[in-house]
A and B are shown apart, each in its own frame.
Chain A
Amino acid sequence: MFYHIFKYRLKVLLRSKEMIFWTLLFPIALSIFFNLAFSGLRNQDSFNIINIAFVDNANDPNFSEAINSVSEGEDRIFNMIRTDLENAEKLLENDEISGIIVSDENITLTVNSSGINQSIIKSFIDQYKQVTSTATRILSQNPQAAADLPAEIATRISYTKSDPMGKSELDIVLNYFYALIAMTCFYGGFFGVEEINQIQANLSKRAARVNVAPIHKLKSFIYSLSASALIQLIEITVFLTFLIFVLGVKFGENMGLVILTTFIGSLTGISFGSFIGAVVKGNENTKTGVLIGVTMIGSFLSGMMFGEMKYIVQTNAPILSYLNPINLLGDAFYSLYIYDTYNRYYTNIAGLLVFTIIFSISTYLIIRRRKYASI
């Protein structure tokens, strides 16, 4: 019996283009848009060598040397062009450079706007001036230092040591993709809604027919649900493969747990859909509407449309981030990627399992032993 129901359910579901579109093609399309649109966001705060123009009217060899030293080599800060003021202003006007350093009696900076690049140029000039001031002060206090001074000025010791936190770079775009996978898992709820429609006698003619068949309702429900689950798991695997190999989304090192998480998420999604199908009164359109609506709100709160939202919820209303299963799922991927420890990951997974159990039991209690006086 299992094989029979399973096989025909599979065939029916695979032929429903609409279902496959929403649960697989739509997420893939969205991920492509994300990838196209967010690539710039990724580089927004990464350091690019700053283009500057240097107008040297004073011919000060010290400053010239100082500016050369930061405009050469691999880890240079500036790309410097020496030019005259007129040309430099033209470049600045076309936004080809961030600032003009003019060295006359005094060294000045000309910029177009305030910004971090401009501030870095200013910091650099400030420092040069400060060294001059330091040298004068030292000489006035200890004239014997004159011999050692040039060497001291030339020595730059690095006093910072980097202690990277966690194992990954902090790529802000990833969270969008994590929320998107969470959404996709919950779009698996379409299958849940559909399965309820096909088993509750008052919802479809087929269900009415199935109800009079001499098979236990729970059994037939579970058999056809497993066909749905199989399709959803295959789809989510395809989607995951697409994200990893085509778009290059990073998930950290623990691939096994990532796959496990998507599977648990899919099951939560399907049980969520069945729950909606059982609880919400009305026709299929209303149910799908509620499903999409709830999923969208959940995805929004977990940062799918606006990345910072997840952080805002987490810091201002932490309870909400636990009550939102989509956030739990997105956060599970995030914790796997960011943290060294698994505490937060396990909390998330435990939360998802609790939700799955609540959804399944409620669905069971609602759909069992329904009797209809008339349909």
Chain B
Amino acid sequence: MPVFKLCLKIFKKNIPVMMIYFGLFIAVSIMMITMSTPTDQTGFSVSKARVAFFSEENTPLVEGLKTSLAENADFIDIEDDQEILQDSLYYRKINYVLRIPQNFTADFMTGADPKVIKTSIPGSTSNVYVDLKIESYLNTARMYLDLIPGISQEKIKSQVLSDMAEETEVEMLRRDSSGSETGLMQYFFNYLAYTFMFIIIMGVSVIMLVFNDPIIKQRNSCSPFSTTKINLQIFLSILLFTFFSWIVLAGLSLTFAIDEIPNFNTKYYVLNSLIFALTSSALSYLIASLVKGREAMIAIANVVTLGSSFISGVFIPQDLLSEGVLKIASFLPTYWFVRGNRMISMLMEKSGPVFDEMVSSMLIQLGFAFGFFILTMIVSKKKRSV
């Protein structure tokens, strides 16, 4: 099989370039590992806002406020510098800056109009959350002050705090069982979509650029090999390349999430990625037959892979994308791959609506693969007649 052998030679020559993309995938995945904090929850826990607390006075009333706020807030130790605070607010390292001005307590006790000064992210949930707590503490304190003549500050503090100890019982309706949903494997396989598509488009184009060169094409046409045979061997080598990349990348994904391999859904992740590999190779076959020139190829590969990854939820979870964007994305196989992975992460048994959704996501990907293949056939037929 001389054509097949030639293709392998071309691939071998391009190994260094491909290594860069494998490296990229590894780098991104390692970043993911270090960033992710697995949320392991069994019961209800109260959310905490990150608050920078600065007080210019230290009175029992203010102490009480801080104590009651501690239930809903983590106090962040930070330098009181305008620039640092602004940066920290921008990057959401803190959600709320609370300042107790001097004479706040005195004003409060005498019924003047005391205010604590807050700086928060306008319109944010944490803003509403912290406000609720502060207002509640101070309003309760005010009731004691107004209605019990001569009450001391200490007494207000202790009574308000003991009132606020009253807590509501919270029940969890659906216990989020199995750690798999919060597992990392889903993300590693999602990231694979980006690297995979890029590598395969580049790999396939490397071969096709050589064979589509007019002079080489003419030379090949007069060889004693039928076109079908040549195409078949090229196709075989592309499949081999796809399969090889799939083994490397899926293997890496599995290694990164090695603790989760024994889970029930691992095999579906692997299957889904194999289907995506097929779809990507069909897509790259189509692109390679449409685009001429190496530079244009790199440009297209970048735009197609980055674009589809961005809007299909590879980099940013699908939950955070708007409905309109997802609608556009549903015309791309990447969307269905990511969706399939999400279904798999929720999968608990071999039947039921989640399982059906997963299967349909996979079938749609195969549909795309078939569609791309047909399109390639039509395109190359048209090209030949010109």
Give me the interface of A with B, judged by CB distance under 8 Å: 17-18, 21-22, 26, 29-30, 33-34, 36-41, 44-48, 77, 89, 92-93, 100, 106-120, 122-127, 129-131, 133-134, 137-138, 141-142, 145, 148-149, 152-153, 155-166, 169-170, 172, 175, 306-308, 310-311, 314, 338-339, 344
Which residue of chain B has the shortest Cβ distance to A45 in the bound complex? B124
Distance to closest chain B CB from A49 (angstroms) = 10
Q: Report B-chain residues with C-beta under 8 Å of the C-beta of A77.
A: 128
A141–B85 alpha-carbon span in the complex (Å) = 44
A142 and B316: CB pair below 8 A? Answer: no
Distance between B315 CB and nearest chain A CB, rounded to angstroms:
7
Task: Please provide the chain B residues from 101 to 133 with a CB less than 8 Å away from any CB of chain A in the complex.
Answer: 114-129, 131-133
Q: In the complex, how many angstroms separate the beta carbon of A113 from the nearest chain B beta carbon?
A: 6
> B299 and A26: CB pair below 8 A?
yes
* One of B41-49, B246-254, B348-356, B370-378 contacting the partner: B41-49
Q: How far is the CA of A21 from the CA of B297 in the complex (A)?
A: 12
How would residues 314 to 356 of chain B score, 1 for a CB under 8 Å from any chain A CB and 0 otherwise?
0110011110010010000000000000000000000000000
Q: How far is the CB of A209 from chain B (nearest CB, A)?
A: 24
Are A47 and B125 touching (Cβ within 8 A)? yes
Taking CB atoms, residues of chain B closer than 8 Å to A153 are 143
Partner-contacting stretch, out of B1-9, B89-97, B212-220, B359-367: B89-97
Nearest chain A residue, comparing its CB with the CB of B42: A114
Give Cα A307–Cα B86 distance, bound, in whole angstroms.
15
Q: Mark B20-41, 1 if CB is under 8 A from A, else 0.
A: 0000000000010001000001
Decide yes or no whether B266 CB sits under 8 A from chain A: no
Is residue B163 contacting chain A, with contact meaning CB distance below 8 A?
yes
- Cα–Cα, bound, A363→B233 (Å): 50
Q: Cβ of B128 and Cβ of A311 under 8 Å apart?
A: no
Report chain B residues within 8 Å CB of A113: 41, 172, 176
Q: In the complex where A116-B47, A123-B133, A163-B118 touch, is A37 in contact with B174 (Cβ < 8 A)?
A: no
Does the CB pair B163–A314 fall under 8 Å? Answer: no
Question: When the two chains form the complex, which single residue of A18, A156, A161, A172 contacts B117, counting CB atoms closer than 8 Å?
Answer: A161
**A108 contact set on B, CB distance < 8 A:** 168-171
6 sample A-B contacts, Cβ–Cβ < 8 Å, listed by A number: A26-B303, A33-B311, A41-B320, A157-B135, A159-B114, A344-B83
User: Is B132's CB under 8 angstroms from A47's CB?
Assistant: no
User: A116-B125, A122-B46, A142-B148 are contacts. A308–B135 as well, Cβ < 8 Å?
Assistant: no
